[in-house]
Structure 1
Amino acid sequence: MILNLQNIYKDYQQDKLVVPVLKDVCLTVEEGEYVAIMGPSGSGKTTLMNIIGCLDKPTSGTYELAGEDVLKLKDKQLSDLRLRSIGFVFQSFHLMPRETAVENVSLPLSYAGVKKKERRERAIKALERVGLGDRVDFRPTQLSGGQKQRVAIARAMVNNPKILLADEPTGALDSKSGEQIMELFQKLNEEGVTIVMITHDPHIASNAKRMVKIIDGEIFEGDEKEDAS
């Protein structure tokens, strides 16, 4: 088991009011799975993604990622765990505008202390893996939206993370580019990459092999609460 969340609660304080966002969430993901977490705006899916991505901590509950007790780790240890174990793909790409594709993909390797020559070699291989071997020295302004997202996916994969965590990965793309990104995710999953994808779109979620729904901060699998989505 690569990811194990048990009895996760997350509350936020607004003035004197406690606002519950996640309510007794239990979620496990096995190595090699492709899971979509689907829910409408305000359902708690972004909060859940931030907890899975070690960007936020729950109010209570337990979380193990790749065998490590996440909630016992200090900030530096959490940063190291994120760098080693999680590749992030965001809706808005988050590319450095003045850097080339290969320089953008190299960034996580730089943080990991990999030498410059090896960084470039590994970044080029990652770009070839997502079909951009001929765009390594292009800057984001020279790339289409779909190509930018491929660069972001290459950057997420360059450290060989345990999980690819994607937040609305097709949200900023036209339908054709979105389908191409879903085909790429399918290919990566077939190669053994574990993918957890957050989306509000049932069509995009249907590309995953397993669908989990989050509604009002609670998790439902399969046909549970079918009519509530």
Structure 2
Amino acid sequence: MILNLQHIYKDYNQDKLVVPVLKDVSLQVEEGEYVAIMGPSGSGKTTLMNIIGCLDRPTSGTYELAGKDVLNLKDREMSAARLNSIGFVFQSFQLMPRESALDNVSLPLSYAGVKKKERKERAQKALERVGLGDRSGFRPTQLSGGQKQRVAIARAMVNNPKILLADEPTGALDQKSGKQIMELFQSLNDEGVTIVMITHDINIAKQAKRILHIVDGEIFTDDEEGKA
């Protein structure tokens, strides 16, 4: 079991009011799975992704990542778990515009204290893995949207994380580029990479092996007849 969230609640305080966002969410993901989470705006899917990604803590509940109780970790320990266990892919790419593709990909390795020579070697291999080995010196402004997302995926994978979290990974791409990114995700999953993806597009969600729906802070299976 790579992800095990049980009875997750998340509330926000707003003008002395308690606003519930996640309500008794339980979610289990096996190693090597490919899961899509669909939900309308305001459904809680981004909050759930932030908790899975160790970017936020729930109000209550339990969360184990690869068997480790991450909610009892101190902030520094949680940051380390996030760095070493989770790769992030965002709709907006979040690349550093003035840095090369190679430097963008090597950034997580820098945070992890990897020496410069090894950083460059591993970043180059990650770029080759996503088909951009010949674009390592290019800056984001010299790359297409699809290529930028490939760089972002290489950056997410360079630390060999246990899980890849993707938030609307094709949202900023044209149809052709989006298809290529989904083919790359499928290839990574075939290699054993665990993927959890948020999307509003049912055609994108269908690429995953399991589809979940989040509605008003609650998770349902694809047929919406029971909790996941």
* TM score, norm. by length of structure 2: 0.98
Question: How do residues 7-26 of structure 1 correspond to structure 2 at under 5 angstroms?
Answer: 7-26=7-26
2:172 pairs with 1:172: yes
Q: Secondary structure at the match of 2:81?
A: helix
2:88 pairs with 1:88: yes
2:135 pairs with 1:135: yes
2:9 pairs with 1:4: no
Q: Distance in 1 between matches of 2:140 and 2:50?
A: 26
- Equivalent residues, number: 226
Compute the RMSD of aligned alpha carbons.
0.9
Kindly state the Cα deviation for residue 222 of structure 1 after the two structures are TM-superposed: 2.8
- Deviation per CA, 1:31-72, whole angstroms, max 9, x where unpaired? 000000111111100000000000011010000001111110
Kindly state the Cα deviation for residue 16 of structure 1 after the two structures are TM-superposed: 1.6
Q: Distance in 2 between matches of 1:56 and 1:76?
A: 13
* TM score, norm. by length of structure 1: 0.97
- Deviation per CA, 1:151-191, whole angstroms, max 9, x where unpaired? 00000000000000000001111111111100000000000
2:51 pairs with 1:62: no
Question: How do residues 39-50 of structure 1 correspond to structure 2 at under 5 angstroms?
Answer: 39-50=39-50
Over the matched positions of the two proteins, sequence identity in percent amounts to 84
Q: Distance in 1 between matches of 2:184 and 2:225?
A: 30
Q: Which runs of 5+ in 2 are unaligned?
A: none
Question: How do residues 173-212 of structure 1 correspond to structure 2 at under 5 angstroms?
Answer: 173-212=173-212
Question: How do residues 118-129 of structure 1 correspond to structure 2 at under 5 angstroms?
Answer: 118-129=118-129
Question: How do residues 77-116 of structure 1 correspond to structure 2 at under 5 angstroms?
Answer: 77-116=77-116
Kindly state the Cα deviation for residue 225 of structure 1 after the two structures are TM-superposed: 5.0
Q: Distance in 1 between matches of 2:63 and 2:25?
A: 11
Q: Distance in 1 between matches of 2:100 and 2:112?
A: 19
Q: Distance in 1 between matches of 2:72 and 2:4?
A: 15
Q: Distance in 2 between matches of 1:148 and 1:206?
A: 23
Given residue 43 of structure 2, which amino acid in structure 1 is its aligned partner?
Answer: S
Q: Which runs of 5+ in 1 are unaligned?
A: none
Q: Distance in 2 between matches of 1:222 and 1:205?
A: 11
